[in-house]
Amino acid sequence: MKALAAAYEERSNQDGKADDQVEDLYRAAELYGGAFEYEKSLAIFDQIVSRFPEHKRAADALFQKGFIYNNRIGDTASARAAYSTFIRKYPEDPLAHDAQIEIDRLGIPTEQWLQKFTGEDSTAEKNPN
C-alpha cells in the first residue's frame, strides 16, 4: 500500500492537469492513512489545501485532516483546529454541518454521545419482552 501511495505521490509531481494532480495526491493520502502513515497522509492533505484551495478536494482534504487527528491520532486540539478552519473556509460545503457535529463531540466517548440523542444507555441490556 505504501508503494502505491508513493507512486501516486510521485505521479502528482509530474506535469499535468491540476485535477489529475489533486486526485493523485488525494489517493496517496488515503493510501498512506490506510497504511497507518498518518503524518504522511496529513502532509499530503496539507499540500492539497495549500496548492489547490479552490478545488473540491481541498475541502474534503481539510475535513479528512480533522478526522485523522480525532479518530486516528487522538489529537483533539488539532482536530478542532482543522474542523474550525473547514467551517470558516467552506461554510456552504455539505460537510460543514458534519464538521460542526464533530467539533461538538470532540472528547466525548461514542457511547455517551449516542445516549445524549437516544436517551438510552446503549450499554444496558435490553429487555427482549
**pLDDT tens digits, residue range 86-113?**
999 999 999 999 999 999 999 887 788 7
Q: pLDDT > 90: what percent of the chain? A: 67
Model confidence pTM above 0.75: yes
- Total number of residues shown for the chain: 129
User: Using CA atoms, how far apart are residues 39 and 35, in angstroms rounded to an integer?
Assistant: 11
Average model confidence (pLDDT) across the chain: 89
* Mean pLDDT of the region 72-79: 95
Other beta carbons less than 10 A from residue 61's beta carbon: 27
Per-residue pLDDT at 124: 52
Per-residue pLDDT at 1: 86
